[in-house]
Structure 1
Amino acid sequence: MENNLFLNAAFSQKTERPPVWMMRQAGRFMPQYWEIKNKYSFLEMCKTPEIAADVTMLPVDLLDIDAAILFSDILVTGEAMGGDLSFTQGVGPKFANPVRTQADIDNLNIDCLDRLQYVADAIKVIQQRLNGKIPLIGFAGAPFTVMSYLVEGGSSRDFKLTKLMLHNEPEMAHQLLAKIAKVTAAYLNLQIEAGVNAVQIFDSWAQALAWDDYKDFSHRYIAEIISNLNRKDIPVISFCKGSSVFAPLMAEAKPDVISIDWNVDLLDMKQRLPQNIAVQGNLDPHILYADKPVIKERIHRLFERMKDTPGFIFNLGHGIMPDIPFDNVKYAIEVIKEYRY
């Protein structure tokens, strides 16, 4: 690998500067993304290896980041299991056949890896294009987050139906989560076999859960997935919205890296975690709307705080918003790459 900064930091080694990649870095804030998006549906983009590779490479070519992340979606596992998935502009993802009964859970297929082969094919194309320049991160949605979309039938503000299943039908909820976890572990291993250099588990809606519910219905299944990964030389990143609360528990699942949101002092959180767990984060993405001197000052403030702390990857506390100016993102990355400890 020409640029090992990301992998070294992920394995808690010292680096001359923090490596940088950003969640949703191959996304809607780039005009070049829209040039592709206007020709194809979102699922066509995900399922056509050459197009997925084109989108994955945009931030590599335009922003010169230290790690690429596969262009895909967290819900492809739910679709492979039998979900009727669609994406509508301005609405988001929808499952036309929500999972709400025992029969619905029984009907989900866990022997479905062949339906995800397009992801492995995309990884091979991307790695040919990266040609050993920087690492490629694969990913999957965490079971609770995927479950919430399957049960609600799409995005939700209050997760009412999902929480009703957790509280009124916990055995059903566990059956559903166990199925998703099994598929997710196999899917991440498929990505590792296809050639990704790291994997991230996204629990995008974990902050909706109370502590005990997070422990029983999320953390337990993430720990199970991580324990089943072929992770030799492959760092595993655990991300959830709410990591400023849940990170000490997340550490018990033994990831290599925990991605931290912006609601906590990053050094304080790092010191509360086992020494061999790196941290990723934790700039508030809204900073990237601000004037350039503010962006620079906030990045430097974070870096000075984390100085002499091995195991730190710069990222946002969540993904880039679609209307953040591209020029601001590019500037932030230039500031990061010029910095030296």
Structure 2
Amino acid sequence: MMNSLFLKAAFSQQTERPPVWMMRQAGRFMPQYWEIKNKYSFLEMCKTPEIAADVTMLPVDLLGIDAAILFCDILVTGEAMGGDLDFIQGVGPKFSNPVRTAQDVENLQTDVSDKLQYVADAIKEIQHRLNGLIPLIGFAGAPFTVMSYLIEGGSSKDFKLTKLFIHNQPELAHKLLAKIAAVTIDYLNLQIAAGVNAVQLFDSWALALSWDDYTEFSHNYNKEIISKLNRKDVPVISFCKGSSVFAPLMAEAKPDVVSIDWNADLKNIKQILPKGIAVQGNLDPHILYADKSVIKKTIHKLFERMRGEEGFIFNLGHGIMPDIPFDNVKYAIDVVKEFRY
């Protein structure tokens, strides 16, 4: 497995071309996904190892990517801790019992690995099906992002309640974040023990924070998590929306890879990071709506910019949108796989 392009690049080794996988690659842009989704609820899909494996394998079989990523959701840790989670069509995730008070924080459980055993079971099933073909990436939501969903009760455009919480009740916020971090450490180590070949920490909503607040309420917890992972031969990828701003801080947490959003010049970021930290990204996913000639030109432009840089994994700056044409995604991956330095 250590000969895989993905793992070589993640450990900052030279590769003949950039490896490729895409965030949300097993998602709603695929008709085959909907054939499964129309039969089950989203949580049923996550919690049934055979179904989670079916969905994980879709981009492996249909797109030919260089790494698979476990089909699950970043909020399963929040649910395991005591959040009443549901996914509502057209709305997204909802916690019907949002965390707002000291008692709410107190009520959250941290010894929850048994409640997440279904993820370990899914990993074993997926690895059986992959049979060493390509690496499998596990993942978790970072504490600040999971906290924001718990406090807001779902998605938010302005994170007003979360920001009020950290500013007016910082001690309680730190207590909540410490609980989520403890669960996340156990959860990622559970995935590593079950057999994932890499892990990614998703801090999807870090962009909502100022530099000082990111440092105090996000970075410090991400750093603690990464420091406590059983990461021998298992690269750790750190991603956030806002990574084009926060990348130098993210590197201080000592991940193997920093995944960059599409707002930055990837080479500039790579060159300010410490040697030995790879970068992942950073195509604007909206490019995948464009004509194929535009897709190819944009990917080649990025690759020429990164020529000579060790440690580069091609990905999007965030996830694939549900209405991006499948053929365009497949074409983009083919363009990557045909490229040679």
Asked whether the 8 Å contact 1:12–1:312 carries over to 2, the reply is: yes
Deviations 1:298-324 (A, max 9, x none): 000000000111100000000000000
Asked whether the 8 Å contact 2:2–2:8 carries over to 1, the reply is: no
* Pairing of 1:324-339 with structure 2 (within 5 A): 324-339=324-339
Q: Which amino acid aligns with 2:326?
A: F
Q: Which amino acid aligns with 2:266?
A: L
Q: Which residue is 2:202 aligned to? A: 202
Paired with 2:31 and 2:273, the residues of 1 have a C-alpha distance of: 39
Q: Which residue is 2:151 aligned to? A: 151
Matched residue pairs, number?
Answer: 341
Asked whether the 8 Å contact 1:135–1:197 carries over to 2, the reply is: yes
Determine whether 1:241 maps to 2:268.
Answer: no
Between the aligned residues of both structures, percent identity stands at 82
Paired with 2:132 and 2:31, the residues of 1 have a C-alpha distance of: 27
- State the 1:89 CA deviation: 0.4
Asked whether the 8 Å contact 1:3–1:134 carries over to 2, the reply is: no
Deviations 1:84-105 (A, max 9, x none): 0000100100001000100000
Paired with 2:269 and 2:5, the residues of 1 have a C-alpha distance of: 22
* Pairing of 1:91-170 with structure 2 (within 5 A): 91-170=91-170
Change in Cα spacing, 1:268 to 1:54, as seen in structure 2 (3 Å) is same
Paired with 2:326 and 2:37, the residues of 1 have a C-alpha distance of: 17
Q: Which residue is 1:58 aligned to? A: 58
Paired with 1:3 and 1:255, the residues of 2 have a C-alpha distance of: 20
- State the 1:215 CA deviation: 0.2
Determine whether 1:311 maps to 2:311.
Answer: yes
Q: Which residue is 1:187 aligned to? A: 187
Paired with 2:125 and 2:15, the residues of 1 have a C-alpha distance of: 29
Paired with 1:257 and 1:136, the residues of 2 have a C-alpha distance of: 16
Change in Cα spacing, 1:60 to 1:172, as seen in structure 2 (3 Å) is same
Paired with 1:43 and 1:82, the residues of 2 have a C-alpha distance of: 15
Q: Which contiguous aligned blocks of 4+ residues in structure 1 show a shift greater than 2 angstroms?
A: none
SS at match of 2:233: coil
Q: Which amino acid aligns with 1:6?
A: F
SS at match of 1:139: strand
Paired with 1:111 and 1:6, the residues of 2 have a C-alpha distance of: 33
Q: Which residue is 1:71 aligned to? A: 71
Paired with 1:283 and 1:159, the residues of 2 have a C-alpha distance of: 26
Paired with 1:3 and 1:28, the residues of 2 have a C-alpha distance of: 31
- State the 1:3 CA deviation: 5.9
Q: Which residue is 1:19 aligned to? A: 19
* Pairing of 1:17-56 with structure 2 (within 5 A): 17-56=17-56
Determine whether 1:254 maps to 2:254.
Answer: yes
Asked whether the 8 Å contact 2:188–2:199 carries over to 1, the reply is: yes
What 5-or-longer segments of structure 1 have no aligned partner? none
Q: Which amino acid aligns with 1:264?
A: A
SS at match of 1:324: coil
- State the 1:2 CA deviation: 8.6
Q: Which residue is 1:299 aligned to? A: 299
Q: Which residue is 2:322 aligned to? A: 322
- State the 1:30 CA deviation: 0.1
Determine whether 1:287 maps to 2:291.
Answer: no
Paired with 1:47 and 1:269, the residues of 2 have a C-alpha distance of: 37
Paired with 1:134 and 1:2, the residues of 2 have a C-alpha distance of: 10
Asked whether the 8 Å contact 1:281–1:313 carries over to 2, the reply is: yes
TM-score (norm 1): 0.99
SS at match of 1:333: helix
Paired with 1:244 and 1:152, the residues of 2 have a C-alpha distance of: 25
- State the 1:113 CA deviation: 0.6
